[in-house]
Structure 1
Amino acid sequence: MNVAKPTRIESIDILRGIVMVIMALDHVRDYFHIYAWTDNPLNLQTTTPALYFTRYITHFCAPTFVFLSGVSIYLQSLRKTKPELSTFLMKRGLWLIFIELTIVSFAWSFNPNFERFPLGVIWAIGISMFLLGFLIRLPYKIILGLGLLIVFGHNLLDYIEASNGFKGGFWMDLLHSSRWSSYQIIGDYNLIIAYPFLPWLGLMLMGYCIGKLFAPQFDSYKRKKLLTQMGIGLLILFVILRSFNIYGDPEPWSQQQNGLYTFFSFINIYKYPPSLLYMCVTIGCVLLLLPLFENLKNRFTKIMIVFGRTAFFYYILHLYLIHILAMISFYIHGHTLAEIAEGESIFRWKFVVPGEGFDLFGVYAVWIFVIICLYPICKWYDTYKTKHKEKWWLSYL
């Protein structure tokens, strides 16, 4: 059993590392693709298969990271008492929210005036951890039931939100309704709700409950079998619910100009907030991949483990590196600071000119460059963490 434990944790780190690397592709596209700020890459009237895939594959990043965070929290519960874990989750949750509103907010905008405060994925993880800090004291079955209720039931709110005259307001937007809603704090300062937290909380609770399968005493063969069965089950559920266009996603699919684009419409599910079908597709694939990575060891997996073990550190660095590269490109193209179009973006400042940028080949080239630059830094940090486990503050990075 002592031999199996590291393998199971490594399979989680491998998958987490993969989605972190893929996530950088989407953010590079945001800053460098020629149509990033003029069109939606999932717009079936204008997109191409390559562009659609480039955006769609990144749908797997946020839910995978949130889900695996829940798994990791369960594994921590095997080493800590409930009061210890509860306190840690609440403190780390509040810390992540603070980081979202400061370091991450600035990374996206480079606006020293801090006029926009986007509540993104780090906020969603932070508030979910904070709430789980309270829920962790409940019995396992109640946490499981609550997670199932949120994940499978939250799309009932779609019918309320789609009704005539519906006005959600701040708290409803924060919970579920927001479509990047903006709320004025004071003067020019606004809060942007990109990630309503309720579905993300449900997903983290489900990850926590699935974490039981990764306990040291759990049989490896049985775990792989259960994960595979659940993964297939979620994908089948997606196909069934999506076919009827009745429940699970607020955006129905429709026939398009050809079979490929009809397929694109069928799999095009809603992320803000993450719908049930969005979670079925993404987590269904996650559950199928985890058993495959459990005993897989090669050069690629070793690299992904580094990114997976330094995920939050990597997340912060990659935002700053990509934006700095975009700023360099901005000035190389002859632009000046005065040309930044204030008000054009929810982030107010951005060293991006809509309609100016690279094709997909250029985007992928920048993406690869970013990953190559970040790997040695993350490798150093991973080694530092391993050698300095006694430093309490490392658990917050």
Structure 2
Amino acid sequence: MIWSHYPALPWLSVVALGMAFGRWMERDRKSAYRKAIITGLALLALFVIIRWLDGFGNLRPRQGSSWIDWLNTVKYPPSISFLCMTLGIDLLLLGGLGLADDWNRGRRISDSLARLGRVPLFFYICHLYVYAGLGWLLAPKGSTLVTAYLAWVVGLAILYPVCSWYGRLKRRHPGNPVLSLL
């Protein structure tokens, strides 16, 4: 038996919502993107209401009235305010990118994200090494925010072609179990 303090049960609802949304997108993609934007806006409005009332849905009450106090929500276990905020933003981005693709304006953005999303475990493993190396090179004794952003951009510039290459390799060898795993 494996024991973990990770709260898996509350996240099952998020997984179920994602699966339901995926089925929805299979049936009517354009309608799903529009509804994602509407749902995202509704969730963000609900987030503001929940945080403003500072009661039900907040596992950590606000300590002050600054914007950072509003955004300081509880992720583990996920509070209702945290889920409304993050899922609202995610749905707005998903719907916006989807509609931009339909209008042929955002094709490059979503294609780039999809290229990284086709090799998620490979990207994850590579990013650990790339960013550890960049941290060692760029900021061995600490860093500033500017250095962190520079490392982030340089890391993506390194990871993007590597992940593109790996995606092409996976497509050339569809039956390879090792390539399929990563």
**TM-score, with structure 2 as normaliser:** 0.83
1:16-165 paired onto structure 2 within 5 Å: none
Equivalent AA in structure 2 for residue 198 of structure 1: L
Note the C-alpha offset of 1:369: 1.4
In structure 2, what is the equivalent of residue 201 of structure 1?
12
Q: Percent identity?
A: 33
Q: Deviations over 1:40-71 (max 9, x none)?
A: xxxxxxxxxxxxxxxxxxxxxxxxxxxxxxxx
Match of 1:312 among 97, 121, 130: 121
Return the alpha-carbon distance in structure 1 between the equivalents of residues 23 and 9 of structure 2: 23
Match of 1:272 among 63, 76, 81: 76
Return the alpha-carbon distance in structure 1 between the equivalents of residues 136 and 144 of structure 2: 18
In structure 2, what is the equivalent of residue 146 of structure 1?
none
Equivalent AA in structure 2 for residue 363 of structure 1: A
Match of 1:237 among 31, 46, 62: 46
Query: Once superposed, which parts of structure 1, at least 4 consecutive aligned residues long, lie more than 6 Å away?
Result: none
Q: Deviations over 1:188-241 (max 9, x none)?
A: xxxxxxx432222221122112222111xx234432332222212211221111
Return the alpha-carbon distance in structure 2 between the equivalents of residues 302 and 391 of structure 1: 24
In structure 2, what is the equivalent of residue 375 of structure 1?
160
* SS of residue in 1 equivalent to 2:90: helix
Note if 1:284 corresponds to 2:88. Answer: yes
Structure holding more helix per residue:
2
In structure 2, what is the equivalent of residue 323 of structure 1?
132
Note the C-alpha offset of 1:270: 1.4
Return the alpha-carbon distance in structure 2 between the equivalents of residues 299 and 222 of structure 1: 21
Return the alpha-carbon distance in structure 1 between the equivalents of residues 19 and 138 of structure 2: 42
How large is the RMSD of aligned CA atoms in angstroms?
2.4
Contact 2:40 2:92 in 1 (8 A): yes
* SS of residue in 2 equivalent to 1:357: coil
* SS of residue in 2 equivalent to 1:274: coil
In structure 2, what is the equivalent of residue 263 of structure 1?
67
In structure 2, what is the equivalent of residue 386 of structure 1?
171
Equivalent AA in structure 1 for residue 17 of structure 2: M
Which one has more relative contact order, counting CA pairs under 8 Å at least 6 apart?
A: 1
* SS of residue in 1 equivalent to 2:55: coil
Note the C-alpha offset of 1:392: 3.7
Larger radius of gyration: 1
Return the alpha-carbon distance in structure 1 between the equivalents of residues 50 and 86 of structure 2: 15
Return the alpha-carbon distance in structure 2 between the equivalents of residues 316 and 200 of structure 1: 23
Structure 1 residues 303 and 220, CA, compared in 2 at 3 Å: closer, same or farther? closer
Structure 2 gap segments, 5+ residues each: none
* SS of residue in 1 equivalent to 2:75: coil
Equivalent AA in structure 2 for residue 394 of structure 1: L
* SS of residue in 2 equivalent to 1:198: helix
